[in-house]
Amino acid sequence: MATMTMAKALNAALADAMLDDDRVVVFGEDVGQLGGVFRITDGLQARFGDKRCFDTPLAEAGIVGFAVGLAMSGLRPVVEMQFDAFAYPAFEQIASHVAKLRNRTRGALSVPIVIRVPYAGGIGGVEHHCDSSEAYYAHTPGLKVVTPATVEDAYSLLRTAIDDPDPVVFMEPKKLYFSSAEAELPARTAPFGTAVVRRAGTDATLVAYGPAVPVALEAAEAAREEGWDLEVVDVRTIVPFDDATVTASVRKTGRCVVIQEAQGFAGVGAEIAARVQERCFHALHAPVLRVSGLDIPYPAPMLEHTHLPSVDRVLDTVARLQWDDQPDPRWLPQGSVA
Amino acid sequence: MTTTPQAVRRASPRTRRPATPAAPDPTAGLLPTAEPVRLLNPDGTPLPPRADYPEPSVEALREMYRRMVVGRRFDVQATALTKQGRLAVYPSSRGQEACQVGGVLAVRDTDWVFPTYRESMALTARGIDPVEVLTLLRGDWHCGYDPTRVHTAPQCTPLATQCVHAAGLAYGESYQGRDTVALAFIGDGATSEGDFHEGVNFAAVFKAPVVYFVQNNKYAISVPLSRQTAAPSLAYKGVGYGVPSEQVDGNDPVAVLAVLTRAVEHARSGRGPFLVEAHTYRMEAHTNADDASRYRDPDEVEAWRDRDPVARLETYLRARGVLDDAAVDAIAEEAEAYAADLRERMNAQPTVDPLSLFEHVYAEPTPQLVEQREQVRAELAAARDSEGDA
C-alpha cells in the first residue's frame, strides 16, 4: 500500500496499459513532453517514445476523428481533451461516428477509443474550464460514460476503459486529481456497470458520482449529528448504469437524494431520480429529491461555491425528505394548508 | 534619429555584394497547375502527352470505360428504384463517372476508401455488391457492407468528417508497417467544413498517406462554389497545409486516372498526403427530392452534356483502335444485365427484425437495453396475437 494521488493513479493506469498492449497509443494537446496540463501523461513519452505518446495539432475534432481512423487500423487510442468545454468541437465526431460506428456496421467495425475528459469545477478555473458535460455523452447511445471518485477506482476504471471493446468517455473530476489515498496498484475494483455502497446507512440513500461523491460522504458524516444515518452510493459508471445497486439501497432506506455537480435540468441526476421512483415507488416515504448545480452557465471563480452542491445544501435537502410524513409545503397549491 | 552619410550612400557596383542564389521557393511542388490537367479534349481527341502525367495503359482505360458504362447504368437504375419507392432517397453522381471510377481504379483492394453518400457508383465500381451499397438508401440498415472486408468506410453523411478518419487510418496503417493508402472522397461544399481543414492538416503533420479527392461538381445542393470559397480553386487549399495539390478536368477520364495514379504513388512513397480537385458537374439534382431547376440554368446543364466523360473516353478508345462495336455492345449488355439483376434483387422486400435494434449498440447490451428489448419483444408478441384474433 502506498499513498498516492488520483493523478498518479491515472498516470500509472496509462503506463501499465501501454506496457501490456503495444496497440495502446496516447495523444492529444500537450500530452507529450509536457505530460499534460494536469500531468496525467507525465513521463509516458520519455518511457514509450513519441510514437506511442504524442502531441497533435490543436484541434479536438481532429484528435477524435484521428482516433477513429487509428482504431479502424487496429490500434487502441486513448485521447485527452484538455478541458471539458474544449471537447465540444469534437462532439460531432463523438456523437456521429465514435458512438455509432459499431451500430451502423452491424458490429463489423467498432472503435474502442477512450476519450479522457478532465471535467467539473471546484478548482477556481476561469470560464470554459469547469463544465460538467457528462449528460451530453450519457444521452448518446453507443458511448460508455465513466467517472471515478477514488484513487483506486481511477486506476481500475481507466484500465477497464482501455480494455473495453466499446468507446468510453472517461470523465476525470479535476478537483479530485490531487486528492490522495492509500492504494495498491494494479487495482481492479469492479467491472463497468457496478455501483458501490461507499458508506452504509439506514435512513436515506445519497446517490452521487464523480466530484459529488466526497460531498455526499461529508454530508453523511455531518448528518449523524442531526440523527440521520445515511447510505452513500457511488455510481462509478453512468453508462451502463447499475440500477440494481441503487434500487436495493433505496428499497432498504426508503428515501433518496441524488447529488450531481452539473446543472440540474435534464441532467444525469434527473434520469437517476426517475429510475429510482419507477423502481422503488412502494418503498419510498418521500419524493426522490435532487441536489445539483444551478441552471446557469458555470459561474466565475468567485461565485462558484454558490453554484456547487455543498454539504449544507445536501443536509437541507435531506431535511425535506418528509421525516414527519407531511408534504413539502413548497409544492402545495398556493393558499392550501398541509 | 539622424541619418549617417554611410547609410544614404548609394551602393556602387564595386560595393555591391556578390549575387547570392535565390532562396528556394517554399511553395515549390505544392501549387496546382494554373489550368486543370487535361489529356483529352472534350470531343475525345487527344492532347499532346505530358511527362508529368503519363497516360494510363490501354488495359486500364478499357477497364475504366467498362466500369463507367456499368456505373452509369447502375446510377440510372438506382434513380428508377427511387421513383418506384424502393429507395428512400438517391443522390446521383451521373456526369461524375470519370471521378467515381477513376478514384477506385487508382487504389488497390487493400487500400482504404472513405466515401461520402454520393459515392454509390464508386463503391459498385470497387466491386461492392450494389444491394449492399444501397442498403443505406433503401433503409433496412445503415451500412450494408462489412467495411473491414472491402476496406471501405461506411458512406459518410456528416460532411467532411471522413477526412480525419482517413488521416488516422492511413497513419495507423503506416505506424504498423503497412503501405496502405487512404483515398478520401469529398465534395466542393464540404471543403468549407472544419473537418476538411483538420483532416488535411493532421495528414500533413503526420505525413499520413492520404489522397484527398475533391469532386467539385459546382453546387452544394443549391449553393454555388462562389459561396464556399474565394480561393483561386479548391486545389489551392493544399499549399496552406504544405500539401502538394493538383487540379484536373474531372470529365476527362484519362487525366483523372493519370493524376490520381500519381497522387496515390506520392502518398504510398511516404511523402505524405496529396490533394486533387476534379472539376466536374452533377448532371442530376442533388437527390430525387431536390429541384435543380430552382438554382441552375438549363443552358448550363446542356453545356456540360457536351463534356460527357463516357462518350469522351469511348471516342478516344475507338480512335485508338482499342475499342470496337463488338466490345461496346458487350459492355452495354453487361450493364443491362447488372441493372436487371439489381432491379430484381431490390424488388424483393427486405426482412427487418425489430429485435435487431438492440444488437450492436454495444458489444454486449446494457441491462437497460435488455429491458427495452424484452418490452419490444412483448409488444411484437401482442401485435401478433391481435393479428391472430382478427
Mean per-residue pLDDT pooled into runs of 10, chain B (390 residues)? 47 59 89 97 97 97 98 98 95 97 98 98 98 96 97 97 98 98 98 98 98 97 96 97 98 98 98 98 93 94 96 98 98 98 95 95 98 98 87
B178 to chain A: closest CA residue? A73
Q: Tell me how many degrees the CA angle B176-B177-B179 measures, rounded to the nearest 5.
A: 115
CA distance B117 to B288: 14
Query: How far is the C-alpha of B2 from the C-alpha of A332, rounded, in Å?
Result: 86
CA distance A102 to chain B (A): 6
| A54 to chain B: closest CA residue | B206
- Decide: helix, strand or coil at residue B20: coil
CA distance A73 to chain B (A): 5
Task: Give pLDDT, residue B18.
Answer: 61
A95 part of contact set with chain B, CB < 8 Å? no
Record: contact B195-A108, CB cut-off 8 A: no
Task: Provide the percentage of residues in chain A whose pLDDT is more than 90.
Answer: 96
CA B159 to CA A269: how far, in whole Å? Answer: 34
Residue B347 neighbours by CB distance under 10 Å: 10
Neighbours of B390 (CB within 10 A): 5
Strand ranges inside B225-372, DSSP E: 245-249, 274-279
* Contact yes or no for B164 and A144 at CB 8 A: no
pLDDT at A335: 65
Amino acid at A191: P
Residue type, A68: V
Residue B19 pLDDT: 67
User: What is the edge-to-edge ordering of all strands in the sheet holding A114-119?
Assistant: A53-55, A24-28, A76-80, A114-119, A168-173, A144-146, A237-239
C-alpha B245/C-alpha B192 separation (Å) is 17
Buried residues in B8-21 as b, exposed as e (16+ CB within 10 A): eeeeeeeeeeeeee
What are the cell numbers at B69? 458504362
Query: How far is it, in rounded angstroms, from Cα B241 to Cα B243?
Result: 5
The three state secondary structure string of A114-128 is EEEEEECCCCCCCCC
Closest CA to A160 of A146, A174, A177, A150: A146
Which active-site residues of B does the annotation give?
Answer: 282, 286, 295
Give me the pLDDT at residue B3, please: 45
pLDDT at residue B10, as a whole number? 52
- Residues in A touching B368 (Cβ below 8 Å): 240-241, 243
Distance CA B171, CA B138 (A): 34
Residues B7-47: pLDDT tens digits?
444 545 555 666 677 888 999 999 999 999 999 999 999 99
Of A97, A128, A129, A305, the catalytic one is A129
3-state secondary structure of A238: strand
**CB-CB under 8 Å, B360 with A103:** yes
- Close Cβ partners of B30 (under 8 Å, ≥ 6 residues apart): B238, B239, B242, B243, B244, B245
Interface of B with A (CB under 8 A): 112, 141-143, 146-149, 153-154, 158, 161, 163-173, 175-176, 180, 182, 194-195, 198-199, 201-202, 205, 359-363, 366-368
Of B161, B205, B367, the CB nearest to A240: B367
CA distances from B50 to B37, B64, B107 (A): 9, 20, 22
Distance from CA of A303 to the nearest CA of B (A): 35
- Smallest Cα distance from B266 to chain A, Å: 20
Distance CA(A44)–CA(A25), nearest Å, equals 10
Name which of A174, A238, A169, A212 is nearest A307 in CA terms: A212
What φ, ψ does residue A172 adopt, rounded to 5°? -105, 115
pLDDT tens across the length of chain A (338 residues): 899 999 999 999 999 999 999 999 999 999 999 999 999 999 999 999 999 999 999 999 999 999 999 999 999 999 999 999 999 999 999 999 999 999 999 999 999 999 999 999 999 999 999 999 999 999 999 999 999 999 999 999 999 999 999 999 999 999 999 999 999 999 999 999 999 999 999 999 999 999 999 999 999 999 999 999 999 999 999 999 999 999 999 999 999 999 999 999 999 999 999 999 999 999 999 999 999 999 999 999 999 999 999 999 999 999 999 999 888 888 888 766 54
Of B39, B220, B208, the residue nearest B114 (C-alpha): B208
**What pLDDT is stored for residue B174 in this prediction?**
97
Which of A57, A69, A101 is facing B201, going by the closest CB pair?
A57
Contact predicate B309/B72, CB 8 Å: no
Question: For chain B, what's the residue count?
Answer: 390
What is the sign, positive or negative, of the torsion defined by CA atoms of B76, B78, B81, B83? negative
DSSP annotation string for B16-27? SPPPPPPPP-TT
Q: Does A129 touch chain B (CB under 8 A)?
A: no
* Per-residue cell: B3: 541619418
- Go through the domains of chain A in sequence order and give each one's CATH number: 2-183 (3.40.50.970), 196-324 (3.40.50.920)
Smallest Cβ distance to A107: which of B154, B176, B360?
A: B360
DSSP-derived letter for residue B112 is E
For residue B278, what is the enclosing H or E element?
A: strand B274-279
Retrieve residue B100's grid coordinates. Answer: 467515381
d(CA B6, CA B209): 55
